[in-house]
A and B are shown apart, each in its own frame.
Chain A
Amino acid sequence: MIAAVQRAIASDFFYQFRRDPVAVGSTLVLLVFVSLAVLAPLIATQNPYDPIQIDIMDSELPPVWQQGGDARFVFGTDPQGRDMWSTILYGTGVSLIIGIFAVMLQAVLGVTLGLMSGYIGGRLDSFLMRIADIQLSFSTLMVAIIVLAVFQAAFSAQLYADLAIIMLVLVIGIAEWPQYARTVRANVLAEKEKEYVDAARVIGLSRLRIMFRHILPNTLTPILVISTVQVANAIVAEAALSFLGLGMPVNQPSLGSLIRNGFDYILSGQWWITVIPSIVLIILILAINLLGDWLRDALNPKLYKET
């Protein structure tokens, strides 16, 4: 294990990484975000989920550097009296959790279906790709909005609030599998022609084994590249859905629902409730996108750019 890490650090890939300020910068930013989110229970001054700690009398206080600010609440408070700093910390955590889990679901689903579709081919392939096409053309966001809208209308508010995180992970996860499936399938079709597959078949390995133990490792590069961007997309999707009121409920804030909350107040001058979480969200997504861009260029030998 140590040897593997040592090898990784000494590798060409890591060398390229170290030399690129954008890659290093965005990874650092991401690490900061993730650590802050993980350490939230320790560094937040307040637990925004605990109604006892919130005092409605503290609501709508501006950040500490503006007139009327309170030293207890560095970034001010929201309409319910929650501390912005704490809420943003927890909210970032929620966004990251949903983003990562949704992408894991997409990946597992998409990669499996893509492998099967590409390797087995035939009717299964046409059928799956048809569905993927249709689903892609309807756009993830639209599908997510409709599904969540229907669920929200069908279930009681309390039940929905309890299930919100799971629903979001499920919906975003299932909505985006075509991305993975298509990429993996393209790779599988290319790999299928190669000799090591013939060799494995001749030995008599089962289809499943060939697919997962032999072909899959060779398709990992594009999967990795897509995954970074997909995490960013998932986080944006969750924020958008929460903003529409179809995502996280008001008492379990995420960055999106915070922005929604604050939007009504922007006209009356209480900008911090919307603007600060917005900036946090943008920085998070920007960092992930930059890293994803860099990864794609670094891992793609075809695009060896001239100076």
Chain B
Amino acid sequence: MPLLEVRDLEVEFPMRAGRLKALRGVGFSLDGGERLGIVGESGAGKSMAAYAILNLITEPGRISAGEISFDGTRLDTLDDEEMRHIRGNRIAMIFQDPMMTLNPVLTVGTQMVECLHAHRKMPEAEARALAIAKLREVAIPSPEQRFDAYPHELSGGLRQRVVIAIALLLDPAIIIADEPTTALDVTIQAEIMGLMIELCDNHRVGLILITHDLAVVSDVTQRMLVMYAGRVVEAGPTADVIDTPAHPYTIGLLHALPQKNEPGGMLNQIPGNMPSLAEVPTGCAFHPRCAHADARCKSELPQLRMVKERRVACHHAEALT
């Protein structure tokens, strides 16, 4: 049985304009120690899925349908106090920009130790030692001094290492990383990503990596999902999806990578833009931008089905591969 299972998840935002659906029936699963990538443009709903797992969606948004199960327990029906025990403890999360993630008026040490105290009973000295050990594990030099430092006194790369250390403090079963390297310099990105993979392997921690960067996904993850306008359009083993994409959107994404181009040629763009939450087209949300769209695509919502060892949500998947 998978460690984490998400089924038919729907998230909506009741607004003056009506009920906007940020997630329209998303499902995926994660086994222990597995690395899953979630890919899509901004606004596709990838972060929303992550927040939903930990019930951190900002009001007025809320989970309106679906199930989230972790290690046999339903997460979406837990009350606040029970959910609190899961967060940071069994499922940890890493956000995008470490400058914004760490509280500027508290020391690094305080922000680490409080996490320990929130979930375990331990004496102050032991907590401090544990925190410093974790800082050392994420390759932060002079961890004792960094412990008493404030976030603004550290560089971007160091800060993200601290955030990773915090995520690992309580030996969670799953880490959700939302664009963990986007805000960092390109040179540091590879280091951080490498560190994360190593730590996840060493501690047998499952990883859900949310990103828009296909290169990172292909290096790091074993399975991946592609999201578009609040739904999963393709899901399967990373190698398969990247090498032989089945959904027109995925095909378009891979074609659009600069590497795929002849030097001097025009970049391949997918025409149009992803629709906003308020204006999702009927039927398949991608049909206005798809060269293969027909009448069926405009009216009928394609469901995920198995085609060539991965799941695709497209009426014409067989024909295209």
Contact = CB atoms under 8 A, between A and B. Distances in A.
Touch test A–B (CB under 8 Å): yes
Interface of A: 306-307
A140 B317 CA distance: 73
Contacts of B16: 307
Interface in B2-16: 14-16
A211 B16 CA distance: 40
B123 interface: no
Interface string B32-76: 000000000000000000000000000110000000000000000
Nearest to A307: B16
B316 to A, nearest CB: 40
A206 B14 CA distance: 52
Contacts of A306: 15, 59-60
A89 to B, nearest CB: 44
Which secondary structure dominates where chain B touches chain A? loop
A307 B16 CA distance: 6
Interface residues of B, number: 5
A248 B185 CA distance: 65
A257 B125 CA distance: 67
Contacts of B14: 307
Nearest to B13: A306
Contacts of B59: 306
A307 B15 CA distance: 6
A142 to B, nearest CB: 32
Nearest to B58: A306
A306 B59 CA distance: 9
Contacts of B60: 306-307
Nearest to B17: A307
Name the 7 nearest CB pairs between A and B, nearest first.
Answer: A307-B16, A306-B60, A307-B15, A306-B15, A307-B14, A307-B60, A306-B59
Contacts of B15: 306-307
7 contacts: A306-B15, A306-B59, A306-B60, A307-B14, A307-B15, A307-B16, A307-B60
A123 B125 CA distance: 51
B17 to A, nearest CB: 10
A15 to B, nearest CB: 14
Nearest to A306: B60
Nearest to B16: A307
A307 B20 CA distance: 13
A32 B227 CA distance: 59
A307 B14 CA distance: 8
A307 B19 CA distance: 12
B298 to A, nearest CB: 32
Nearest to B59: A306
A61 B240 CA distance: 96
Contacts of A307: 14-16, 60
A185 B60 CA distance: 36
A305 to B, nearest CB: 10
Nearest to B60: A306
B28 to A, nearest CB: 29
Interface in B72-100: none
A12 to B, nearest CB: 15
A178 B60 CA distance: 39
A306 to B, nearest CB: 6
A139 to B, nearest CB: 29
A301 to B, nearest CB: 16
A168 B59 CA distance: 49
A16 to B, nearest CB: 13
Interface string B272-284: 0000000000000
Nearest to B61: A306
A306 B16 CA distance: 8
Nearest to B14: A307
A306 B60 CA distance: 8
A181 B16 CA distance: 38
Interface in B94-131: none
B14 to A, nearest CB: 7
A113 to B, nearest CB: 32
A307 B61 CA distance: 12
A236 to B, nearest CB: 36
A303 to B, nearest CB: 15
B160 to A, nearest CB: 29
A19 B15 CA distance: 18
A306 B13 CA distance: 10
A20 to B, nearest CB: 15
A155 to B, nearest CB: 52
A271 to B, nearest CB: 48
Nearest to A305: B16
A200 to B, nearest CB: 33
A125 to B, nearest CB: 25
A307 B59 CA distance: 11
A289 B15 CA distance: 29
A306 B15 CA distance: 7
A209 B113 CA distance: 57
